Structure 1
Amino acid sequence: MAYCRACGAEHPADVSSCPALGTSTRDGPCGASIGRYEIDRLLGGGGMGTVYRARRQPGGEAVAIKLLKPELPDRDDALERFVREANAASAMRSPHLVQTWECSIAPDGTAYLVMELLEGRGLQAALEAERVLSPARAVALTREVLEGLRVAHAHGVVHRDMKPGNVFLRRMEGGGEQAVVLDFGTSKLLFEQRSSPLTPAGTTLGTPYYMSPEQVFTPAQIDHRVDLYGTAVMLYQMLSGALPFEGTTIPEVLMKACSGAPVPLRSRVPSLPEALVEVVMKAMARSADDRYQSAEDFIDALAALHLEGLPASDPRTVRPRSEAESEEPATVRIERP
């Protein structure tokens, strides 16, 4: 077996390409130091960066460190987004938002972000393993996500890419879980200077299955309500094991989300209380004016429900997901002339 510098794992000696990253096993940060941090192993990655477990020296405190991908096109724009994520995240304090402590650039030009290390698993992994959650659990997690968003919105920050891949279920001491919102790399600062936007006019950022109609049609005019829409789609998915708009291509999904009606949640899960169905469908309204107008309003609507004791839907009665739905959709950039 040989140590892989790309991911920090051990692979057979004859393996030259890291199975996790597809890069050479001889190249990578694992086993090296960046600033005060010794890189240990790969945790995961996203569109802009790769996240590793690391230890702060001296002391050995475990942290998560996100490295900006050096091969990104438009690296200057990506670097500015990276710094903006750090600035946005470090200003916000909530147990439901991942805490960011440091953003710096190493002597070799590597940009890195230091965050708290979360123990547990992602919501995406939980859905892949369990398919559907009980109504009480799904609503509890959604309320925690909204509590995090409430703090972000109070700081003028819109996440713009709410999806299961950006929610982590922190494992709590003594059992239990706590939802934590991750990755503000695509966030929009409502109070930023309009003269120097990072997202060019006519460009949309988001993940198709969770994008609100206004993110497609008027991305320059979006506000915090796009996050409430994406959170509602996640709740729909947690309750039913499926997504509200079906399609085999990104344009088809976006067209249905913008001009069609979602598959009724009631038809997916007939046993759900009508009050819960109404809350979810209102939060997913096509027009932002018809949704809940704040995270607080959405939280209050969920808090008024009484769901204890209701079991999760039987996965055998839920419509099988399409191949496209079964994969974690990537964040996309849609540009219009």
Structure 2
Amino acid sequence: MPHPAAVTLTVVQGQLEKTEFAFEERTTCLIGRARDCHPRLPDDEHHRTVSRHHCLLDINPPDACVRDFGSRNGTYLNDQKIGQREEGHTPEQGAATTFREHRLTDGDELRIGSTVFRVTIRGEQLAPAVVRCVSCGREESAELNARAGDHLCAVYLARHEATGHEVALKVMLPRVAANQVARTRFLREVLVTQELRHPHIATLHDAGFANGTFYLTTEFCTGGSLDRLHTLRGDRGQIPEAVRLYAQALEGLEHAHARSVVHRDISPSNILLHRDAGGRLTAKVSDFGIAKAFDLAGLSGLTRAGATAGKPSFVPRQQVVDFRRATPAMDLWSLAASLYWTLTGHVPRDFPAGQDPWLAVLRAPAVPIRERAPHVPRALAEVIDHALTEEPRIGFETSADLRRALLAAL
């Protein structure tokens, strides 16, 4: 039986010599002296040239990338400097410079201060897929398309021939060539979420692979998504309606979390709305397990700009520190961030132009909501601000607790 793909970092020089860090699944991690780094270098006089958050690793075995975070003394890949802030610049000024990602290959050496890591990659690194656009038929590189920021999916309204029911048909193009193992892993993981049946979760009907694309059919929600419902943004008269819809989404999350399913990518675009005959809206959380399934199957390609790692506007710092250990509390932070956006028209953090957005997630706490929108009632603001706490832990740990607190604040 073949071994799973893996990326291993072995310390071949430095105080931690012979220590190994092995990764067999999709994750992000930080190298530096801070407590939340893994690998963490000692915080002593021998490592003063290493920044607290020195660089970011984005790993999706057998692929891996590294990016410097504007460190004081630079990161070196095979003795070539790949990032360093300018002489005399503060860490904040260094953070304002975004350094590009560098793909790691088997045998590479990564030097940070006096510590040298040797990269070992098990498993064949996959080439970018050539895909055919489902709309126009044009062939192009999926990875190039992804790095340009385009979405590699399309959603259609379809009708089931046998039942006559309307469904949403989502077609997704993998960023790398999909072999049989990858297809099997993706479909197996997605079908786990097919068991999630709840009034506030958009039902997954079917999933499959055909003509080089993956497809899903899900419940069709007639009201679009929360990110398109602009009437809720910043309108004091709509605050009770917004809280009611997000409380419903929390009921859906509670059902999923009780079954050990974490969404990982909650945002206003993933909360759909269904409008009944009387015009009343109902919220339904969508796309459970899709990002995770793509990651586990190795289909998402690399780059933190991708949606599979979450959107930086709605991601807690814990999800950047260790993406693989997704917890229900991370979903709750993302939902609170989504409600914040709905009520204010702004995301909770400031993302200065030119600054690495993922470094901003690590260092910038949420701005108190009433500084953005003074009209938000104080009691509700206190709940949202607490939900967006990240240190020492995320404010709310269960969906039920956050839902009760939001409704009590109205």
Which interval holds the TM-score relative to the shorter structure?
A: 0.5 to 0.7
Distance 1:78 1:304, change over 3 A: farther
Residues 239 and 343 of structure 2 are in contact (CA less than 8 Å); yes or no, is this contact kept in structure 1? yes
Partner of 2:259: 155
Kindly report which structure 2 residues correspond to 1:204-223, keeping only aligned pairs within 5 A, or say none. 205-223=309-327
Deviation at 1:271, TM superposition (A): 2.8
Kindly report which structure 2 residues correspond to 1:4-23, keeping only aligned pairs within 5 A, or say none. none
Distance 1:289 1:61, change over 3 A: same
Partner of 2:53: none
- Answer yes or no: is 1:135 the counterpart of 2:239: yes
* Larger CA Rg, structure 1 vs 2: 2
More moved, 270-279 vs 254-263: 254-263
- Answer yes or no: is 1:302 the counterpart of 2:406: yes
Supply the distance in 1 between the matched residues of 2:273 and 2:353 (Cα, whole angstroms). Answer: 29
Partner of 1:166: 270
One-letter amino acid matched to 1:273: P
Q: Deviations over 1:79-103 (max 9, x none)?
A: 4564256313311111111101222
- Answer yes or no: is 1:285 the counterpart of 2:381: no
Q: Deviations over 1:61-95 (max 9, x none)?
A: 322222232x6325348745642563133111111
Partner of 1:118: 221
Residues 96 and 179 of structure 1 are in contact (CA less than 8 Å); yes or no, is this contact kept in structure 2? yes
Kindly report which structure 2 residues correspond to 1:5-44, keeping only aligned pairs within 5 A, or say none. 27=137
Partner of 1:230: 334
Distance 1:80 1:304, change over 3 A: farther
Q: Deviations over 1:265-296 (max 9, x none)?
A: 12122232221111001111113734111101
One-letter amino acid matched to 2:251: E
Kindly report which structure 2 residues correspond to 1:310-329, keeping only aligned pairs within 5 A, or say none. none
* Unpaired runs of at least 5, structure 1: 1-21, 29-45, 190-195, 308-337
Distance 1:26 1:214, change over 3 A: closer
Supply the distance in 2 between the matched residues of 1:87 and 1:24 (Cα, whole angstroms). Answer: 23
Residues 282 and 291 of structure 1 are in contact (CA less than 8 Å); yes or no, is this contact kept in structure 2? yes
Distance 1:53 1:78, change over 3 A: farther
Identity rate, percent: 31
One-letter amino acid matched to 2:228: A
Supply the distance in 1 between the matched residues of 2:275 and 2:372 (Cα, whole angstroms). Answer: 30
Partner of 1:12: none
Residues 202 and 220 of structure 1 are in contact (CA less than 8 Å); yes or no, is this contact kept in structure 2? no
Partner of 1:41: none
Supply the distance in 2 between the matched residues of 1:145 and 1:250 (Cα, whole angstroms). Answer: 34
One-letter amino acid matched to 2:224: R
Partner of 1:257: 361
Partner of 2:347: 243
One-letter amino acid matched to 2:388: M
One-letter amino acid matched to 2:359: M
Residues 66 and 113 of structure 1 are in contact (CA less than 8 Å); yes or no, is this contact kept in structure 2? yes
Distance 1:25 1:226, change over 3 A: closer
One-letter amino acid matched to 2:401: D
Partner of 1:73: 176
Residues 64 and 114 of structure 1 are in contact (CA less than 8 Å); yes or no, is this contact kept in structure 2? yes
Supply the distance in 1 between the matched residues of 2:327 and 2:215 (Cα, whole angstroms). Answer: 28
Helix, strand or coil at the partner of 1:179: strand
Helix, strand or coil at the partner of 2:284: strand
Supply the distance in 2 between the matched residues of 1:197 and 1:75 (Cα, whole angstroms). Answer: 9
Residues 81 and 186 of structure 1 are in contact (CA less than 8 Å); yes or no, is this contact kept in structure 2? no
Residues 190 and 290 of structure 2 are in contact (CA less than 8 Å); yes or no, is this contact kept in structure 1? no
Partner of 1:31: none
Q: TM-score, normalised by structure 2?
A: 0.56
One-letter amino acid matched to 2:358: L
Deviation at 1:248, TM superposition (A): 4.3
Choose the corresponding residue for 1:97, options 185, 201, 224. Answer: 201
Residues 48 and 78 of structure 1 are in contact (CA less than 8 Å); yes or no, is this contact kept in structure 2? no
Residues 242 and 339 of structure 2 are in contact (CA less than 8 Å); yes or no, is this contact kept in structure 1? yes
One-letter amino acid matched to 1:236: Y
Supply the distance in 2 between the matched residues of 1:208 and 1:60 (Cα, whole angstroms). Answer: 39
Q: What RMSD over aligned residues (CA atoms) do the two structures have, in Å?
A: 3.2
Deviation at 1:304, TM superposition (A): 1.4
More moved, 114-123 vs 180-189: 180-189
Partner of 1:83: 187
Helix, strand or coil at the partner of 1:121: coil
Deviation at 1:187, TM superposition (A): 5.0
One-letter amino acid matched to 2:214: A
Q: TM-score, normalised by structure 1?
A: 0.67
